[in-house]
Structures are given as C-alpha cells and as structure tokens.
Chains A and B, each alone.
Chain A
Amino acid sequence: MNTLLKLASTSLMSAAMLASPALAQDQIRTLHLLSRPQAAQPAEFQAMQLIAQEWRKLGLDVEVDVMPWEQMSDQVWYNRNDWDATAWQMTGRPERSDPDEIIYNLFHSTTAESGYNFIGYANPEYDAVVEKQRVTIDPDARQALVVEAQEILAKDQPNMMLVHPEQAFAFDKTIWDEASVVNQSGIGIRNTWTWLSLAPKADQKDIIVNSADNVISVNPLYISGVTDSWITELVYDRLFRVGPDGLPTEWAAQSHEWRDDTTIAVTLRDDMMWHDGEPVTAEDVKFSYEATTGGEAPMYSPFGKGISGIEIEDGNVVVFSLTNPSASFITSSLAKINLIPKHVWEPILADLATKEENAESYQEEMPIGSGPYKFERWITNEEIVLSANTDHFNAPKAERWILRFVPNAEAALGMLRSGEINFLTDFSGDPQVLIDAAAADGDLEVMSTVDIGFRYIGFNNRRPPFNDPAFRSALSSAVDRRLIVNAAFKGFAVASNSVVSPALEFWHAKAVVDNFQAGADVAKSMLDEAGYTMVDGRLAYPEGVKETLGD
C-alpha cells in the first residue's frame, strides 16, 4: 500500500516537472482598478465595470476597487507606488485652452515625484518636445510640436484616454435673445462672454442661474471652486481674457507688445475704475502680480512663477520680464491673474504676513474689483447677487446676475420651467431628460458642447506590468470607446485618444484619434507580439519578467 502511494506521488512529481517550462513565465497578479462610487460618479463607475470586463477577456484577473474621492485621491496622489490603475478626470477650465498645462504638467518627468504626473511617466524624448513647445513663440511651429507630443502619447499610452464629455446647458428663450448667447469653444454657453452680451427680450433683466455646489469664497487670490470662479471672473478684471475662440484677447490691456522672447510690455486701459470709485492704475497691476507670487496665495503662485521682474513705464505701461521664453504666458498668466486694488489689499496682506493663515482664508465683507459686475450681497447657502457695472468698458446688457444654490437637479429643471431661474448653468441629471423637458416646454433652448476636460484611466507607469508600453497599449486597445460613450455616458461624450480636446481645434491631433484601433483581437495580437502568453488560463509576463508584487 505504502509503495503504491510512493509510486503515485513520484509520477505526479514527474508530471509537474514536465509542465515546468511553462512555469518559467510568471502569471500576472490580480490587477486593481480604482473607481469612485456609483452614487457619486455613475458614468465613471459604469465605465470601469465595462473596462474590467474587457480586460478579463485578455486573461487578466481584474478587480474594481470602489472608494470615495477623498480616499482615492489620497491613495493615488500621496502613495504613488501603491496602486495599479485608476479612473481619473481633468476638468475644462478657460486657461486650459492653452495645451501647455495639460501636455506639460501631466507627463513631464519632473512633475512625477509630487506634481501632476502622478502616473510616473518618464520619456526623455517626450520631455524634450514639450519643453520646446513651451519656448516656441511662433504658433505654427508650436502647433507641430504639440501634435508631435500627442503622437508620442498615442504610441506610449501612459494613460488610457476614454472620452471628452459633452456639457449641456439651457436657457429661457422668451427672456433672453438667442442670438446674444456666446458659445465658448470647449467651455459651452455658460461663460463670462454670455453674461456680458446676454440681451433681455422683455421686462426680466436679471440673469438667474443655478449651482448645486455652495460657493466657498469670493476671493481674487484663491481658486476655491468651479462655481466660485464664475463670480471672480465677473467681479475682477484681468489683463487678457480667453476669448470665445479659445485664444487670449486683450481685456484690461489696451495693447501689448513682445519686445523680445522674454519681455512683454502691456499698456493699461485708461478708463477703468475700482467699484469703490478709485481709478485702476499700473501700480495696482504690478501689485496684483506681486501679491499672487508673494507666498500668501499658494494656488495662484504657479501662474506667476515665470515672472522675474515687473517695471512701470510712462505711467501706464507694465513691462513683464520672464525667466524663460513662454508661449503660453498670455493665456496662463495674463489671462489668469485677477487685478486687485492695492489700497484694499496692501494692508490685508501686510497683516496676514504676520499670521499662520494666508490670503486664502480671508473673506472680504464686500469684495472690490473693477470687473463688469459689482458684488452686491451673499446670503449663505441661498444666493449671491451681482449688479451690472454700467461704467465698465464692456458693460453687461443685463441688470443683475443672480446665482441661486439648488442642490436638487430635478428641482433646478423645474425652476427653469417655472421661471425661478432663467439660465440653467448646472445640471447633473441625465442630459436626455433635459432635452425632453425642453421639447415639451417650448420656451427652452438646450445647447451642448464638447468639453476641454476629459475622463481617463491613469496607469501606474512605475509598476509592472504597466511599465511596459506594449502592455498599456494592448489594454487600451481592448476597449472600444464607442461602448464607453454610449453605455456609460449615454451618448453625451466623444471618444478620445488625446489629452488635447477636439474643442481646441488648432492644437488637437485628429489623426491620432482617427487611427486608433480597438478590439479584443487587436489587443491579443499586441500582447502576443510583446511576448505575453497564457499560463493555466491566465495571462503571464514575457519570459524573464518576474512578478514581484503578487499578493
């Protein structure tokens, strides 16, 4: 009996030995994909489930780990070595109309340790291209470099780009003249230009908009939230503004002139007043830029970082000297930094300099700007009222701009129909519901726009198997983006393969998106080519690569 058992076990051992050549290749561990919960981010959650399903078809073991944003951002941002792949999003902001912020900060190797390149992508060839576009002032030459950067990303797939969402807004066309609504490229009809040009048709001259989120602060030195910036953009002027076409246009600047690659002279308009009646001077402009970089406004300081000196000439010309040539300087600094009155802020900043708090904790009782709307009052969690600054060089056609806080999306839509609001600027519900409601109502106009922002999966480029571009490309190719657009975003999105949105027509590399091939067979052949094989029904690393992170 004993000998029989021995015999059996030796034969088993030899069988195992026979199979051993295959075991030289390590199976890939269970991969974890992070997503926010369905209740908070239904589209993201749905997309991650679909993607995990497609990846499993390649022989991978994939788990979707669902967690709230606080936990997810903590893990991804502060524990950069400890995750595999995560759902992520970049939101569209006017200053992102210049591609520099996205293509540089998200992928340049210097921002990998603690900056926006949390995925840890490092490619010297790419670094060189994005550094060069930064200092190339000639638009056509720079365009070629921006396209080249997108091509490198398409080849390397450091991220798996999913979609650019479409945003839908609506207004009452019996109150507002449709022709006066401005559709800003990549931002939509909810923008400063619309608030300036919107022309009333009848007696209602108040623009009443809604937001589900509370405003945190009205502070020219603090970027406290998306809704908050609607207000600061109206109360404060800037030297330039990003125009409806996505390109910067002169605003408080009368004219400007590049004296050389690192010197720009801006002539200030002479017809501007602060809301308290004081004139706006070149001293105020200089003060505004020094305030942002002076250490009391951490969130704004990156936008003024490239400035090495500011001089005033002839009383109304402000000359900025830059440390390096910067192609995006006008969009990312001059169209970004708010002009603030020196006589108001100088004593405040002097006082703050002696305290632990900085300017971000400071809320003025009555914010004073020079912008096209004046701050009137703020009733906590209820509304913020601005009134038209009729003395402004670009005075609004409406009388007031009123923001109401409405946490309930269905109620917001109902209010639009009943007239309690007349411009729907925030709608988190199903866009189709909005379109159907508008069709039923007859008085409403819905307009949707492709966003500058995008949704994607960040691969942790530091960790195998995601350190292999072939593996990343295969995973990206495994998913048909039309599935994501239709099933997760209900058709209100466009498929993406580039971080530069098609809304930024001049910079967007269309070919990169058009040439993208997707499907399980495409992905499998890519993996095959790169040496990945199946071992016992699971995908394994190419020969010689060991799994070091297994559970």
Chain B
Amino acid sequence: MNTLKPVLSRTLQLLLVLWAVVTILFLMFRLMPGNPLAAYIDPTFTLEQQEQLIRQFGLDKPLLSQYFTYLGNLLQGELGYSFRYRTPVAERIWLLLPNTLILTFSSLIIAYVFGILAGAWLAWRRGSRAEAVSLPIVLATRAMPEFWLGMVLLAIFSFSLGIFPAGGTRSAGTEYTSLWALYTSADFLSHLALPVLTLAIYSQGLPLLLMRSNMLDVMKEDFVTMAKVKGLSPYTIVIKHGARNALLPVMTSFAISVGYQLQGNVVVESVFSWPGLGRELVSAVSASDYPLAQGAFLMIAVVVIAMNLIADLLYTLLDPRISHA
C-alpha cells in the first residue's frame, strides 16, 4: 500500500502531462497556415473530389468536434490515416519504431558503460595530467553538433577508409527472413556501427561528468577514508565502495536520456539514411502530413514520459533514503 500510492499519483500526473501534449499537438497542426490538404489535393481534381477527400479526413467538421473525435480515437489506440500514404499511421510507426529503439538503446548503453567507467577513473586520477587532457575533450564532444559529427565519421570511416557502409540497415537487395535474422546479422551490425558511434560519442559526456562529480563527493565520505585506512586496493575502493554509491543518479539520468536521444535520432537517422521514426518525423513535417507527424511526436512523447516515470520509481527503489511519502 505504501509503495503503491506514490506510483499511482505519479502515473496520474504523467497522464495529465500526456493529455496536455496531445492537446498542444492537435492545436499546433491545425493552426498552421494553409489548407492542411493543399499539398495532397492535385490541381486536376474536381471540386467534388476535393470535398470528398476533405470529408474523408474529417476536416469539414468544426474544430471542437474534430478534437473529441481525435481524443476518442487515441484512447482506442487509433492514430488516424496519413494524408500522404493514405495508410494507418499506427501501422507505419510500428514498422519504424524497432529500428529507432535499437539505435537509441545500443548507443546509450555504450555511452553509459564507457561514461561510468571513464568517469570513475577520472575521479580517481583527480589532478593528474590525464584529467587535464581528457576533460576538455569530453566537453568538446558534448558541444559538437550531431549532424556534423555524423558527417565527419562518414567521411573518415565510410568514404575514405571504406570500413563501414554509409547508410541504411542492410546492403542493397539483401533479404532477411525475420527482424531477428536481420538484427543478428554482421551486415546489420556494420550498418549500425557509424550511427551508434555518432550518438554514443555525443551522449557519453553526461554520464561521464555526472559519474566523476558523484565519485568525487563519495570519495570524501568517511567510509571511503575507512577503506583506505584498511589498506584495500584502489580497485576495491573505487569500484566496490565508491562507484556503487555514485551510480545511483547516473542510472536515473539514463532513463531521462532516452528522451533526449530520441530527439538526437531525428538528425542522425537523416544523415545515415536510417529507416527510423526520427527521419519519418522530419519528412512528415516537411510534407505537411499532419496525422503522421502528430503520431510520431506522440510516440516520442509517450516514450519520454514513460522513461521519466521509470526514472522516478527506480530512484525510490534503489535508494531507500528517498521516498514519496
């Protein structure tokens, strides 16, 4: 009972946030200038054909009734029909979401494993020359725009050295019997390498710096001094005593980072021709395919909000000192 109540109240809060996002999305696309179907109504259409298309998409109804239809449909998991593809938005999103999630999670895991280890090491080597060299480099990678970093990696590893392919998830014309067969193939992994590297370089800075500063705090605590006095090895002190305690905030930042990473995907997927949700979002917005853009935005918002909830709950679970009571 004690643990259930905070979970419920957090979930309710987040549902409220979700409703706000949904409403803003609805209004945003409808208040844009121009007839939303203008890009899709061919000039050769007769007036009757145009009206039919407008009816088909429910755009002839008043805004408020459109809004309620939209909310009602959402509750049933119905995201509407894409203007451009004339197919259900949900179908398209489900096709592309796995590619985006693979990219996001593999790059974040690499970034966090590296960041945590390197952060702990840098905290241990505080004041050394290694720290003087590495910190500016880390700060520089945080400041690099992702598309620029992506283009540089493409130019080096793909176009000059020819180690990795430049785009897509597979070589032209290769067929895989299932998603699993694709994701476990060497072909896929070599295509995944550069986009993951780009995102990992971009996102390792946060866990690294966070881990380092937490470690520095932890290392000042009495139990660490005690461990040192006991004559324990540096490995035991840093990893077993220090890192375990410093890790907590880093883990919650992982959950929140998933949201930021999805946003970074928009750019990286375009640079590497990755068939994911981010690229779809860009093309839907530039083609004024409002239902599809709305659906993709919503899906990203849901993932971000869900990860926030997980981060919150994780914190209470991992650190008994913090409670929502």
Q: Which residues of B contact A380 (CB under 8 A)?
A: 92, 95-96, 275
B170 within 8 A of A: yes
Q: Is the CB of B168 within 8 A of A382?
A: yes
Residues 28-51 (chain B) with a chain A CB within 8 angstroms = 32-36, 38-39, 42-47, 49
- Closest 4 pairs (CB-CB, A-B): A381-B275, A71-B34, A361-B86, A70-B34
Given A360-B86, A414-B159, A408-B270 contact (CB < 8 Å): yes
User: Nearest-CB distance from B132 to chain A (Å)?
Assistant: 36
Residues of B within 8 A of A408 (CB): 167, 270-273
Interface string of A286-312 (1 = CB under 8 A from B): 000000000000110010000000000
CA distance A400 to B162 in the complex (A): 24
Q: Which of B33, B166, B172 contacts A71 (CB 8 A)?
A: B33
- Chain A residues with Cβ under 8 A from B155's Cβ? 414
- Apart from the given pairs A118-B43, A408-B167, A418-B158, 20 other A-B contacts in the complex at a CB distance below 8 Å: A70-B33, A70-B35, A70-B38, A74-B34, A78-B35, A115-B43, A206-B173, A208-B172, A299-B42, A361-B87, A380-B96, A381-B96, A381-B276, A382-B275, A404-B168, A404-B273, A405-B273, A407-B279, A410-B154, A411-B166
Query: From residue 258 to 283 of chain B, which have CB atoms closer than 8 A to chain A?
Result: 270-273, 275-276, 279-280, 282-283
**Does B52 lie within 8 Å of A356, measured CB to CB?**
yes
Asked if residues B44 and A302 are in contact (CB atoms below 8 Å), the reply is: yes
The answer to whether A418 touches B166 (Cβ under 8 A) is yes
Q: Evaluate contact between B85 and A406: CB separation under 8 angstroms.
A: no
Q: How many residues of B contact A (CB 8 A)?
A: 51
At the interface, yes or no: B55 with Cβ under 8 Å from chain A?
Answer: yes
Residues of A near B39 (CB, < 8 A) are: 69-70, 73
Q: Which residues from B are CB-within-8-Å of A414?
A: 154-155, 158-159, 166
Q: How many residues of A contact B (CB 8 A)?
A: 51
The docked-state distance in angstroms from the alpha carbon of A214 to that of B85 is 10
In Å, the complex CA distance between A539 and B31 comes to 38
Q: Which residues of A198-221 have CB atoms within 8 Å of chain B's CB atoms? A: 206, 208, 213-214, 216-217
**Per-position binary interface string of chain A over residues 63-79, scored 1 when its CB falls under 8 Å from any chain B CB and 0 otherwise:** 00001111101110110
Per the bound structure, the CA–CA distance linking A406 and B283 in Å amounts to 12
Residues in A with CB closer than 8 Å to B270 are 407-408
A145 on the B face (CB < 8 A):
no
Contact A214 B283 (CB under 8 A): yes
Q: Report A-chain residues with C-beta under 8 Å of the C-beta of B283.
A: 213-214, 407
Chosen A-B contacts, 24 in total, with CB atoms closer than 8 Å, are A70-B32, A70-B34, A70-B35, A71-B33, A71-B34, A73-B38, A75-B34, A116-B43, A206-B173, A223-B42, A361-B86, A380-B275, A381-B275, A381-B276, A402-B172, A404-B172, A408-B270, A408-B273, A411-B271, A414-B158, A414-B166, A415-B167, A418-B165, A420-B172
Is residue B151 within 8 Å, beta carbon to beta carbon, of the partner chain?
Answer: yes
**A217 to B85, Cβ gap below 8 A?**
yes
Which of A67, A377, A379, A402: most chain B CB closer than 10 A?
A379
Query: When each residue 258-280 of chain A gets 1 if its CB lies under 8 Å from chain B and 0 otherwise, what string results?
Result: 00000000000000000000000
Q: A452 to chain B: closest CB distance in Å? A: 18
Say yes or no: is A323 at the interface (Cβ < 8 Å to chain B): no
Restricting to A339-379, which residues have a CB under 8 Å from any CB of B?
356-357, 360-361, 363, 377, 379
